[in-house]
Structure 1
Amino acid sequence: MLELNNVRAGYGAINVLWDVSMAMEQGRLTTIIGPNGAGKTTLLRAIMGLVPLSQGDIKLRGERLNGKPTWDMADAGVAMIPEGRMIFRDMSVEENLIIGGFNKAQRAHVKTRLEASYDMFPRLRERRAQLAGSLSGGEAQMLAMARGLMSDPKLLIIDEPSLGLAPLVVNELFEILAKLKAEGRTIILVEQNTERALAIADHVYLLQGGKVVLSEAAASVTLARLHDLYFNH
């Protein structure tokens, strides 16, 4: 569904990604793991058009994504839930959600999508009129995820969803990810909690220094082997 071929990208004169090639299959959850500074977030930004490529191609269902403006990604069927939530704190929960479904293709379905969001995240229904800035960290993450789903994306990209959350909230979050996977959604997950990411993923990529050093079915990868790769590269 999504293919990256020999991608190089970075910031000005600083190159971060080196000849990265990946393939994310439709209806599967692909996790990208690696130490801080490995290039994971840069990779997601490159997919979203936030970082230009200096080499290579990114294709979604055969259509070239690189060069497409970020604001057109929702219409292309791609949504990203960024690290740090990045919700609109001075707007209500419901207003945040409505913004997520404002692309042309989905505008007519906003009410239906709102109900689906509240069914999946019942706490957001209780807080629909509250300012988003008053939510707890876990609730804010749920809002960010629900907002991303409002456009009914064909490809959902999630960056570090469990960062800074309490263990109970992390459990709840991964239950929701399992539900989304069971619905047949195509998901790219960047996650520091390697054990949880491996347990839910179909395929795993390990990035080190902006390069892919492992690409395998998640079921065949052990934490011990990943630990060795982390520290021996």
Structure 2
Amino acid sequence: MIELQGVRAGYGAINILWDVSLSIRQGELTTIIGPNGAGKTTLLRAIMGLIPLSQGVVQLDGRPLSGVPTWKMPSLGVVMIPEGRMVFKEMTVEENLMLGAFTKQHRAGARKQCDRAYEMFPRLYERRHRPAGTLSGGEAQMLAMGRGLMADPRVLIIDEPSLGLAPVIVNELFETLARLKGEGRTIVLVEQSTHRAVGVADHVYLLQTGKVVLSQKAAETDMARLHDLYFAH
């Protein structure tokens, strides 16, 4: 579904990703793990067109994504839920959700998708008229997830969703991920909790210093070896 072939990318003169190749298969949850600075978020930004490639190609359904602006990605069925929630604090919860259906093709179904977000995250319904800035960290993550789902994406790219959240909220979050996976959605997950990420995934990629050092089915992953590679220098 999504293929990266020999991708190099970074920021200005600083290269972060080095010849990264990986496959995101339709209907699977692919997790990308690695220590801080490994290039995980940079990889997601490269897929979304937020940073240019200096080498290589990113393809969706066999077609290169080069030149496709980030704001057109939802129209292709690809949505990213960024690290840090990034909700609009002065807007209400419902206004934030509606922004997720800003593309013309999704506006007609916005009300239906909003109701579905409320069904998935009942606390958002209770707080729908409140400014998003009044939400707790867990509620803000629910809002970011709900906003991402407003475009009914085929591919959901999620960056560090459990960061800074209480364990009980993390449990709810991973239950939601399992539910979305059960619906047949294709999910790309960058996550700090390796056990959680591998437990919900179909395939695991480990990044170290901008390179893929492990690519393996989640069910076949040896956690001890994974952690040895994770902490290798």
Letter of the structure 2 residue corresponding to residue 35 of structure 1:
P
Letter of the structure 2 residue corresponding to residue 26 of structure 1:
Q
Q: 1:26 and 1:161 mapped to 2: Cα distance?
A: 21
Quote the residue 1:196 is aligned against: 196
Q: CA deviation at 1:167?
A: 0.3
Quote the residue 1:40 is aligned against: 40
Quote the residue 1:13 is aligned against: 13
Q: 2:90 and 2:101 mapped to 1: Cα distance?
A: 18
Q: CA deviation at 1:232?
A: 3.0
Q: Where does structure 1 differ by over 3 angstroms across 4 or more consecutive aligned residues?
A: none
Quote the residue 1:24 is aligned against: 24
Quote the residue 1:150 is aligned against: 150
Q: 1:214 and 1:28 mapped to 2: Cα distance?
A: 18
Q: 1:97 and 1:189 mapped to 2: Cα distance?
A: 21
Q: 2:231 and 2:12 mapped to 1: Cα distance?
A: 29
* 2:228 partner SS: helix
Structure 1, residues 75-108: CA drift from partner, whole Å, max 9, x if none? 1111000000000000000000000011111110
Contact 1:52 1:67 in 2 (8 A): no
> Does 2:210 align with 1:210?
yes
Letter of the structure 1 residue corresponding to residue 20 of structure 2:
V
Letter of the structure 2 residue corresponding to residue 76 of structure 1:
L
RMSD over equivalenced CA pairs, Å: 0.7
Letter of the structure 2 residue corresponding to residue 213 of structure 1:
V
Letter of the structure 1 residue corresponding to residue 211 of structure 2:
K
Gaps of 5+ in 2: none
Matches within 5 A, 1:104-119: 104-119=104-119
Number of positions where the alignment pairs a residue of Structure 1 with one of Structure 2: 233
Quote the residue 2:223 is aligned against: 223
Quote the residue 2:4 is aligned against: 4
Quote the residue 1:100 is aligned against: 100
Contact 2:35 2:231 in 1 (8 A): no
Quote the residue 1:182 is aligned against: 182
TM-score of the superposed pair, with normalisation by structure 1: 0.99
Contact 2:57 2:64 in 1 (8 A): yes
Letter of the structure 2 residue corresponding to residue 194 of structure 1:
T
* 1:75 partner SS: helix
Letter of the structure 1 residue corresponding to residue 103 of structure 2:
N
Letter of the structure 1 residue corresponding to residue 102 of structure 2:
F
